Structure 1
Amino acid sequence: MHHLKPIAISVIMAAALAGCGAIKNADTGALTQAGGSAYKAMSLTDSDIATMSDQSCAAMDQKNQIAPANSRYTTRLNQVVRGMPTSVNDKTANYKVYLTKDVNAWAMANGCIRVYSGLMDLMNDDELRGVIGHEIGHVALGHSKGRMQTAYAASAVRGLASAAGGVVGQLSQSQAGDLGEKFINAQFSQSQESAADNYSFDLLTERKLERKGLVSSFQKLAALNTGGSGSSILSSHPPSSDRAAAMQKRLQSAK
């Protein structure tokens, strides 16, 4: 086991945890297939990840209310992302707003970037730009690929096989939606969160954009998290207050 990469271990653990509730009613053949799904997840190609991201993003778009082009949220988001990347890892960045009170944002490896109106209501433009840069960082640094692998393994095991066996391109609407939900609700590791924070800081620096929003955005998320929200963006490791302090330290060192 010590020869496996960290992502491989996390995928196997996710698969095992997701399958626990079904083990009592599963036969040996089903469990073998489920276990194979975890290993299958580790070997997914970039093309597989992009295909699953396309389908998962499309499914999530159907499940949520997207702000129309003439919405004040869409207009504002378009202004906020001016000067931000138009592509990530050679995938065109596709920015949209979900009309919901939830405070969240996420990005998939195919360039699908979604910002919730609840987050936009909470943040000013500089803060919002910092959060978006953070989500882009997860994609650029390969974290989103690993997160999709983990989500795939958990989803396949829960259904005892569904998406295993090389049928990535044939996910049903419900499977794609389930995969998208698991991706969005999964957590990144502490080191990945910190790396994405630093990516956003460097991105804003490179593009000569205000970086103070990275500090105040995490301060706002830390204050909001005291209310016990279940949003994935608030389930931060390290805590949002620590991340705000780390960004403040970098900001002071850059002066």
Structure 2
Amino acid sequence: MKKKFLATLGVVLGLSLLVSINIPTSTKANSNLLLASVDWVQAQLNPINSKVTALEKQVSEQAVLISQLQKAVSEGGSVVVTPPTTPNPTEPGSLPSVVYTTSSSVKVHSGATRDYKVLATFGANEGLTVIDQHKSASGIWYRVELSATVKGWVFSGDVSTTKPTSYIPTNVITKQAVNVRKGATTNYASIELVAKGTSLKYLGSFKNVSGETWYNVQTAKGNKGWVLSTLTEVK
């Protein structure tokens, strides 16, 4: 295509040179003929320019898709070749922030079909943080965050966007830097200091004699301890 474009460009330049040098002012017919030839060459160039523009757009779209695939691999999730559709917030089926399991054995897979490996199994009424969605032939799949490094896919038919009355939290998110302690008071020693925005696995809760609610959690390092509820939020 490049050689064809250069050859055509050479014809245009040559014709333009002939127009500027060799055409006498008295030969109006010849001048019109050459101008018509220039117009014809330009007409041949226009489709080529359109094809070049279309190819540039296609390359740009493919670069975006490659970037998305690289990100999915680096995050430890599965690669879905079909690009996810962007939901419209005003339409039904728009991306929810949290979905809740509706049965006693909801499986999260490494990819957006049941053929992929099971990463985790959840009981009923547990919340999962949604970060993306994919529409397949079988229906909508939600990409959920299991931890800071592990993401998976859950089928929309196994979850609900409505928070159940008997909701059981799955994660505790810190609002600031928080000490994970050995017991449910500040008198206990700190096991680990976690940063603001850290997601901790929820294990249970306890109200001490002072009326404080503490959450029993597990950190990414595997440490189990207690954090004060007012310094965190459950999801």
TM-score using structure 2 length: 0.24
TM-score using structure 1 length: 0.22
**When you count helix as a share of all residues, which structure comes out higher?**
1
**When you count strand as a share of all residues, which structure comes out higher?**
2
Which structure is larger by alpha-carbon Rg, 1 or 2?
2
